[in-house]
Amino acid sequence: MATKQNFKDSYKRLQEISDILDKEEVIDVDQLIKLQEEAKKLYTFCNAKLKELDEKLDSKQDI
């Protein structure tokens, strides 16, 4: 069963990936590619959510 993606979990996973990359001195290239692809998807999702929020806040200020 698939779970719905949300900002909090996506951001947390981005932080985990960052920690993995910071801690590993030598990382397998295949693992690096997978982490980079996952991070890119998570970043895109989080960025879209932040833009959506920004637009909603801007529209409320126009009232």
What are the pLDDT digits (tens) for 23-48?
A: 977 788 999 999 999 999 999 999 99
Rounded average pLDDT over 16-29: 88
How far is CA 19 from each of CA 35, 40, 49, rounded to the nearest angstrom?
A: 11, 15, 23
Residues of the chain with pLDDT > 90, as a percent, come to: 70
Q: String of b and e for 21-57 (b: at least 16 CB within 10 Å)?
A: eeeeeeeeeeeeeebeeebeebeebbeeeeeeeeeee
With a cut of 50, say whether residue 1 has pLDDT above it.
Answer: no
Residues of the chain with pLDDT > 70, as a percent, come to: 92
Place of tokens 């982490």: 35
